Amino acid sequence: MKYWALILTFFSLSSLAGEPNLNTYQNGQVQQVAGQVYYTYEPQINTRVRQQPSLDSNVLGLLNNDDRNHDTDINHKDYKYAPYDEEWMKVLDFDGKLLGYSHRSLFYKSNTIIKYEDSVQTPTGTYKLEFIGHPYRQALEHTYGSGNYYYSITLDDAELIYERGWKSNKRHLQEMYIQEGEFLPMQFHTLDIQGKRVGWLFGWNQYANYSTDVDFSFARLIVPTGTKGELYTTQGLGFQFRAIADFLDKQANQLIITEGRTQNIFGSKAMFNYYHLPYQHLFILKEDGFINVKTGNIEISEKLIESNPYYAYSIALNYDDYDAVRRSSNRFKDALDRAAKRCPEYDLTVAQKCPECAKEGIFRPTVYVGYTNRTRENSTARHKAYDELESCLVSAIGKEAYHYLYFSTGLFPSQKVIDDYIKNKYRYMDEYRYYLHKKEK
């Protein structure tokens, strides 16, 4: 079976004036690709179709919707439109038969179309990905509207393994025409291990204009495992590379994709660490060419701690990774000392602040932050107390340290409190799991 290399048409990007900036992660294992952009041409209302490309030629009819019941109307949805020259467009049916010509000024260029093809070769066959659709544009939803794309995975050009989107939309999308010289960075990323293509990741970042560590606010991951007809495919929110995956330890035959999972914390917002807890998809390329997949929590590496000890600490505490809590907190003892000295009235252990947590061996940030007894009546007092604590900590250790050490954990940042937390092995529970725990008891 012929190996499908990257079929997407590439030109020498260095020769283009508007060369796109493409992202790459993990030393090129996760690589953004760029490709040809297609356009749809749409007729304006009452666009004339002429027999010849001349204003003196006979008018055959008008391109309109088919709801007017007029003798001159031609249903514009039944035809495709291609450039003839600088002034005229061709009007063809979907079998390529020419109907006539229309003046180009009566058309407008609508949404861009991305068309992409690529393949992964495994011991049991070749998996071909075909994608056609509009690039993501607006941050209205977490998921991509299925009417905007169609893609499929076929095995050995014969067996359909997987498809998403509207199949009926495929014909319309694939009838677009290339406009030479137009390029656009795509949301597609190829996945490689030891120089071998193993899969794809594509999505977008609706928070790209904000200060955030999220590289994709939504993405889909597709990896053929090698077992005949089997794909590892998942979609998720908050994929992070620059802040997490690029700093994790892995072997030469491994690739790590880190997805941010949400946590229930006080005042959580999407662009302020909402996608906080990393969940890894670890792909291991075996000598026989098959892929093993392991999922779960990351192993907090020294590289990650060194790159951002505050962030590593926040992850470790919510993982109940007490060793990593200790290793990361050792990097910012000066910040802990400043917090304890500047804000001593808040330097309370879990047992002091939340006796219920200590009694049941449960640590809950949503209880520890603010008042233990949270009611509608004391809401104003709770928020006032929290604002005062925030103001004190920010003045003592700065916004970044406050955000990771307290806002994302609920545990007051002092050596005394951290030692107490580790010694007593308080474990994290979110609101729902805590409710179930109480119900069981």
Token representation of residue 366 = 């949503």
| DSSP 3-state of 238 | strand
**Pairing, β 59-64 against β 73-75:** parallel
Helix/strand/coil (H, E, C) string of 68-107?
CCCCCEEEHHHEEEEECCCCEEEEEECCCCEEEEEEHHHE
Please state the φ and ψ torsions of residue 251, each to the nearest 5 degrees. Answer: -85, 170
How many Å separate Cα 197 from the centre of its chain? 20
Q: Could you tell me if 300 and 315 are in contact, meaning their C-beta atoms sit under 8 angstroms apart?
A: yes
- The half-sphere exposure of 364 on its side-chain side, counting CA atoms within 13 A, is 22
Give φ, ψ of 305 to 5 degrees: -65, -40
pLDDT tens for the chain, 441 residues long, are 333 333 333 222 222 234 456 788 998 999 988 766 667 788 998 999 999 999 999 999 999 876 677 888 888 888 888 889 989 999 998 888 999 999 999 998 776 777 788 999 999 999 999 988 776 654 444 555 666 778 899 999 999 999 988 776 666 566 555 554 455 556 789 999 999 999 999 887 776 666 567 888 888 999 999 999 999 999 888 888 988 999 999 999 999 999 987 654 444 333 445 567 899 999 999 999 999 999 999 999 999 999 999 999 999 988 889 999 999 999 999 999 999 999 999 998 888 887 777 777 777 665 555 444 556 776 777 778 888 999 999 999 999 999 899 988 888 999 999 999 999 888 766 555 666 666 665
CA distance 375 to 221: 42
- Helices 322-329 and 415-424, packing angle to 10 deg: 160
> How is the chain split into domains, by residue range?
13-38+111-299, 327-440
d(CA 244, CA 298): 9
Gyration radius from the chain CA atoms: 28
Listed in sequence order, the residues at least 6 apart from 137 whose beta carbon sits closer than 8 Å to its beta carbon are none
* Calpha distance 134→116 (Å, rounded): 11
CA distance linking residue 9 with residue 184, whole number of Å: 13
Strands (E), 225-262: 231-239, 254-262
What's this model's pTM, rounded to 2 decimal places? 0.75
